[in-house]
Amino acid sequence: MKIVALAGSIIGSKTKTAMIKVREMIENKYPEHEVTLLDLADYTLDFSDGRNYFEYDGDTKYVTETIMGADAIIIGTPTFQASIPATLKNIFDLLPVSAFRDKVVSVVVTAGTAKHYLMAEQQLKPILSYMKAHIVPSYVFIEEKDFLRKEIVNDDVLFRLERLIEDTVLTSEAYEIIRAQKDEEYDF
Amino acid sequence: MEKYRINPSNGMEFGLYSLGDHIENPLTGERISAQQRIKELIEASKLAEEAGIAVFGVGESHQTYFTTQAHSVVLGAIAQATSKIKISSSATVLSVSDPVRVYEDFATIDLISDGRAEIVAGRGSRVGAYHLLGVDLQDYEEIFEEKLELLKKINEEKYVTWQGEFRPPLKNAEILPQPLNGQLPIWRAVGGPPASAIKAGYMGIPMMLTTLGGPAINFKHSVDAYREAAESSGFDSKTLPIATTSLFYVADTTKEALQGMYPHINGGFQAIRGGGYPKQQFAQAPDTRDALMVGSTQQIIEKILYQYELFGMQRFMAQIDFGGVPFEKIMKNIEVIGNDIIPAIKKYTAN
């Protein structure tokens, strides 16, 4: 299974810290699966201009094709102006309408405070649903006080991240079985 | 209808069209040469004519996985290779061309073919042509409306005086050569949603509507909106032909049709759109109510007649070569269309 851990901002450290932790946890627990961390701060992406994702060059092509090639995607997003950052929305805009069909997507949210704790529920999940993702229902919400010097220090958050990863992998495996059953039935 | 060279008493026309896509055959992993693809298109037009198919269309897309960028040149060759079948674009991306040049090309094809040429003008559903030919996508909407107006004017007036934003003005210009009988049928290519259909209606121009899949009834709204818009602009919608188009694959049994088509439609979508065709949706497609034309001969006949009841269209256009379909399968489809499908449709729709 190919898993992409996406850090959806080009600024700040909390989301990046969380996604580095996610990658480490996946590598330890599921060494048989391939995990790629895409930290958008490492890339220079074009804004979506109407082309198909594979028609871009360089970083834009690499990032979008890596996402499209994944079986499961764990999206890490900070909270900017009560919403997801534009850099993450741009990723969605670059991809085709049903980009997440047959993919499992789970979510890690970071924020300064708990003021916008429903942001992912109200704004991110509708986008993922529209793009046909199988969404892992629970997400992990991590706030400023859960971090200390670029480490997650709240055990509750660490346990929840473990569960999120487990649910992401198991959900993906379950959908693989469902797909195989359907394919057998379809016979084409 | 006569103005558009359509005689409804002969029943609904059945046509074929190609985007000129150039994709590997997913079953062999091999892609034929561009030359072979173009020659096979010309060959298919001859077979289509022999099978009694009424129209053959070729479209243009200016990007990877396509090979009929110069679609009017291919249509010129088809005009020479055939003698009865109507020759159409499917579609001409008018926004990236000069309407004068487009008219010159198709008027010439009309002369070569003894009056069989038509233009189907669209905005294109891919952006490659815009990037390659230097047309700003920001003008997507306006540039097409302006150019289509001009194309229509050229068709209707002997000396054209015109001024617009996207092309130098014309002053008493005589556009030559003139088509065989003075005018060409000019259609507007319309995607699924009603917005573009309504624009076609306002303009009082025939509509070629893509119904690539999903419930056919979803497209009813576009057809109704088109006719309503035409009436509200003072046109008699009964004089305006409508064509619908769909991907098409027929075989002896439903199962064979699904198995035969799926690798091509899935591979083609993967290559051109970057995502395959969902199997679950494809599995529903043989249902009479679904617009995607896949199934046994009888199922296809029922689907077309169901749509005829819904839309009352004058023409149905089938795309039988999408996604690297090998030529022997194309021949087989043409044969079934000619032998079984067209006679059944004519029986029901001709007076």
Percent of chain B with pLDDT over 70: 100
pLDDT higher than threshold 80 for residue B82: yes
* Number of A–B residue contacts, CB under 8 Å: 40
The pLDDT tens digits along chain A (188 residues) read 999 999 999 999 999 999 999 999 999 999 999 999 999 999 999 999 988 999 999 999 999 999 999 999 999 999 999 999 999 999 999 999 999 999 999 999 999 999 999 999 999 999 999 999 999 999 999 999 999 999 999 999 999 999 999 999 999 999 999 999 998 999 89
Residue B63 to chain A, least CA–CA distance (Å): 10
State which residues form the domain around A137: 2-186
- Asked whether the bond before B193 is cis by omega within 30 degrees of 0, the reply is no
CATH number where A127 lies: 3.40.50.360
pLDDT higher than threshold 80 for residue B88: yes
Ordered by where they begin, the domains of chain B are 2-349 (3.20.20.30)
pTM of the model: 0.91
Helix locations, B116-187, DSSP H: 128-133, 140-156
- Does A55 reach chain B within 8 Å, measured CB to CB? yes
CA-CA distance, B139 to B151, in Å (whole number)? Answer: 18
**Closest C-alpha among B94, B16, B21 to residue B57:** B16
Burial B4-33 (b: 16+ CB within 10 A, else e): bbbebeebbbbbbbbbbbbbbbbeeeeebe
Q: Residues B165, B170, B174, B176: is their CA dihedral positive or negative?
A: negative
Percent of chain B with pLDDT over 90: 93
pLDDT higher than threshold 80 for residue B93: yes
The pLDDT of B223-227, averaged and rounded, is 97
Tokens 């057809």: give the residue.
B223
Lowest mean pLDDT among A30-39, B131-140, B163-172, B223-232: B131-140
Residue B271 to chain A, least CA–CA distance (Å): 10
- CA of B259: which chain A residue's CA is closest? A188
Residue A96 to chain B, least CA–CA distance (Å): 7
Contact B275 A98 (CB under 8 A): yes
Contact B137 A182 (CB under 8 A): no
Q: What 3-state DSSP class applies to B62?
A: coil
Per DSSP, the residues of B197-252 read HHHHHHHT--EEEE--SSBGGGGHHHHHHHHHHHHHTT--GGGS-EEEEEEEEEES
Mean pLDDT of chain B: 96
ipTM: 0.82
pLDDT higher than threshold 90 for residue B192: no
Residue-level pLDDT at B193? 77
- A-contacting residues in B 60-99 (Cβ below 8 Å): 63-64
Task: Select from A46, A47, A48, A52 the residue whose CB has the most chain B CBs within 10 Å, as the one to mutate to test that interface.
Answer: A52
Residue-level pLDDT at B42? 98
pLDDT higher than threshold 90 for residue B259: yes
pLDDT higher than threshold 90 for residue B10: yes
Per-residue pLDDT band for B339 (boundaries 50, 70, 90) equals: very high
Q: For residues B291 and B246, is the Cβ–Cβ distance under 8 A?
A: yes
Residue-level pLDDT at B213? 83
Per-residue pLDDT band for B351 (boundaries 50, 70, 90) equals: confident
Residue-level pLDDT at B127? 85
From the list B127, B137, B275, which residue is nearest A101 (CB)?
B275
- Does A51 reach chain B within 8 Å, measured CB to CB? yes
Q: For residues B184 and B107, is the Cβ–Cβ distance under 8 A?
A: yes
Per-residue pLDDT band for B161 (boundaries 50, 70, 90) equals: very high
From the list B64, B274, B283, which residue is nearest A53 (CB)?
B274
Q: How far is CA B27 from the centre of its chain?
A: 27
Residue-level pLDDT at B301? 98
Residue-level pLDDT at A50? 86
Residue A171 to chain B, least CA–CA distance (Å): 19
How many structural domains are present in chain A? 1
pLDDT digits over B115-134, tens only? Answer: 999 999 999 888 888 989 99
